[in-house]
Every structure is written in C-alpha cells, then in structure tokens.
C-alpha cells in the first residue's frame, strides 16, 4: 500500500498551462462552468438570488479559477527550476492545491462580502459559501483531471499509443481473410499497376482497395517478408527490367525510365535496383548489350558455317 501511494504521488503530472491544448481547455472549462452556473440556480445558499445575477456570478467564477492560473504564473517566474514539466509530479500538484484552495476560499468570501447585497459576514456564511465552491469543484475538477490525464499525461499517451500499435500489428484476421487480402493486393499491383503512380503509398493502396491501413500493413509484413516500400519497389524494379529487356533499351534514358516505373528519386531508384538485381541500372543495361552482341556473334558464326 505504501509503495502504491509513493508511486502515485511521484507520477508525472502535466503542466497544462505550458501546453497550448491545456490552456485552451482551461479557458473552455471556465466558460462552460459560467454557462452551467447561469442555467442552474444554486439552491439553498445564502443570498442565492443575488449571487445568481449574471454579472455577479460570472465575476465570482472568474475569481474562483483565477488564483489557480496566478499560482502557476508566480511559480514559473520566481521558481523556474522547481516549476519544470519533466519534474512536476502529483505530489507537487497537491502542494500547489494546498495553497490554491484556501486562497480561493478567502478571495470568494471577500468578494461575497463586498459585492453581494445583504451578505452577512460570519463563520456560517463562510461555510455555506464553501458549499457552493465545492459544487463548482465537483463539476470542474473531475472533467479537468480527466482531460489532463488522457490528453497531456505522457504516461497515458505512451500507453495508449502502445495499445494502438499492438492492435495495428496484430489484427484479428483469419488465415482465409489474410490470403484474400494478399490476393487482392497482388492482383491490383499486377493488373492495375498501382506501383507506377509516383504517389503510391500505403495509404493510397489502402484507399484504392478499401482495406483498413493496419490490416494491409500487417498482411504485407507477415506474408511477403517485405515492408510496404520494398514490396512496391520490387514491382517497380521488375517493371524497369522488363522495359530494359524489351529491346528498346538502346534509345532509352535511365532518367526517363525511373519516372516511367514510378520512382521520384534517382537515389531511391538506384538503391532499389541494386537491392533486387545486384546491379545498378547502368550495369544491368551494359549486361544486356553484351548478351545482345554475343547473340549476334553466334548468329554470324552460324551463318558462316
């Protein structure tokens, strides 16, 4: 139990005011609480009719949240070494709240005494006013805590990313479904020649075949022994070899060839060609020319005999 408490207190806590998304959410939360409070009349509190007047209520809720932001502004200005994103924890956040809560209670009480007509200062009034503060807290704190943990906490974000990556790398596909996707993929590549499009990406093929991206990636990685880039480039290199071997290679320029086969980059073209043939395009072309010359020599020798 002690270990669990220690772990929880030292859990990283995001500094939302240093994050643009956190600041936007904080402003949205204040606006939401103001709208909700104007729509829901606080029942059973001293001078609730007066407090519920829009201007008084809006100022009251602004003062309720303002010390929280002010506290972090002061911390970041006077103690920048203490107030750091990578060292801020739940323990430090609770210490900050131990300052914020009594400060807010005092500020809202002073505001009620000076701005709400017929508000009677006293211990009972102070306690009843804190009931209203508690009501606002029950709305704002859970919503804000959920947002900070889900959207800003690096631990939660990493855990969510890991779960997503695991689901994408281990889709629930049967052997029959896997083979069907693989057949559709090969058919699209061989018949429609999707690889000739210079914009042929995994997303492009996924959209064309209407197959979920993570399923398509899984099938390629598990069934072809290639990643998508190598799988696509293999088709492109085979197309380049077919063109070079077709007998039109004497007038063919390699710069034009790589575009015709879908390669945008010259470097990528040469690297892929070398990877799948063991030769550069120039070496491959020279080899074809040597074979043609040898064939011609054999034909001439045969005719002479």
Which CATH number belongs to the domain containing residue 266 in this structure?
A: 1.10.10.60
Q: Is residue 180 part of a domain?
A: yes
pLDDT at res. 49: 57
Residues 74 and 150 occupy one common structural domain: yes
Cα(122)–Cα(50) distance, integer angstroms:
18
pLDDT at res. 128: 77
Q: Is residue 17 part of a domain?
A: yes
Boundary (domain end) residue, out of 130, 162, 194: 162
Residues 264 and 125 occupy one common structural domain: no
Residues 120 and 83 occupy one common structural domain: yes
Residues 109 and 202 occupy one common structural domain: no
- The count of structural domains within the chain is 2
Q: Is residue 73 part of a domain?
A: yes
In 159-176, which positions are buried (b, 16+ CB within 10 angstroms) versus exposed (e)? eeeeeeeeeeeebebeee
Residues 86 and 56 occupy one common structural domain: yes
Q: Is residue 120 part of a domain?
A: yes
Residues 133 and 35 occupy one common structural domain: yes
Per-residue pLDDT of the chain (305 residues), as tens digits, is 667 776 677 766 677 777 777 788 888 888 887 777 777 665 445 455 556 666 777 788 888 888 888 888 787 778 877 777 667 777 887 787 888 888 888 888 888 888 877 777 888 888 877 877 887 888 787 877 777 777 777 777 777 777 777 666 667 788 888 899 999 999 999 999 999 998 899 999 999 999 988 888 888 988 888 899 999 999 999 998 888 887 655 556 777 888 889 998 889 999 999 999 898 888 888 887 777 655 444 444 444 45
Boundary (domain end) residue, out of 131, 162, 193: 162
pLDDT at res. 41: 62
Residues 157 and 179 occupy one common structural domain: no
Q: Is residue 228 part of a domain?
A: yes
Residues 225 and 126 occupy one common structural domain: no
Kindly compute the dihedral angle of the four CA atoms of residues 26, 30, 33, 38, in this order, to the nearest 10 degrees: -160
Residues 158 and 188 occupy one common structural domain: no
Residues 247 and 156 occupy one common structural domain: no
Domain around 37: 2-162
Q: Is residue 12 part of a domain?
A: yes
In 34-56, which positions are buried (b, 16+ CB within 10 angstroms) versus exposed (e)? beebeeeebeebbbeeebbeeeb
Residues 245 and 184 occupy one common structural domain: yes
Quote the pTM value. Answer: 0.48
Q: Is residue 168 part of a domain?
A: no
pLDDT at res. 12: 67
Q: Is residue 132 part of a domain?
A: yes
Residues 121 and 14 occupy one common structural domain: yes
Kindly compute the dihedral angle of the four CA atoms of residues 66, 71, 72, 73, in this order, to the nearest 10 degrees: 80
């Amino acid at each position: 139990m002690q270990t669990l408490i220690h772990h929880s207190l030292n859990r990283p806590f995001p500094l939302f005011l240093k994050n643009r998304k956190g600041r936007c959410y904080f402003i949205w939360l204040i606006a939401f609480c103001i709208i909700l409070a104007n729509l829901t009349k606080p029942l059973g509190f001293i001078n609730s009719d007066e407090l519920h007047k829009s201007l008084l209520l809006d100022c009251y809720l602004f003062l309720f949240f303002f010390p929280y932001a002010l506290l972090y502004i002061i911390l970041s200005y006077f103690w920048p070494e203490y107030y750091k994103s990578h060292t801020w924890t739940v323990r430090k956040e609770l210490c900050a709240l131990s300052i914020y809560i009594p400060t807010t209670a005092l500020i809202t009480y002073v505001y009620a005494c000076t701005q709400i007509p017929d508000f009677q200062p006293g211990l009972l009034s102070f306690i009843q006013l804190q009931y209203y503060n508690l009501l606002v807290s029950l709305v704002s704190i859970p919503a804000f805590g959920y947002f900070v943990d889900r959207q800003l906490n690096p631990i939660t974000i990493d855990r969510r990313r890991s779960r997503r990556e695991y689901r994408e790398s281990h889709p629930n596909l049967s052997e029959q479904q896997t083979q069907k996707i693989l057949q559709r993929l090969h058919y699209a590549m061989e018949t429609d020649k999707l690889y000739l499009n210079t914009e042929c990406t995994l997303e492009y093929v996924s959209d064309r075949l209407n197959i979920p991206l993570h399923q398509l990636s899984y099938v390629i990685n598990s069934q072809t022994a290639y990643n998508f880039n190598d799988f696509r480039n293999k088709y492109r290199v085979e197309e380049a070899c077919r063109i070079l071997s077709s007998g039109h290679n004497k007038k063919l320029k390699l710069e034009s060839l790589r575009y015709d086969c879908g390669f945008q980059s010259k470097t990528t073209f040469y690297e892929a060609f070398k990877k799948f043939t063991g030769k550069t395009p120039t070496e491959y072309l020279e080899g074809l020319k040597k074979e043609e010359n040898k064939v011609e020599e054999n034909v001439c020798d045969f005719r002479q005999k």
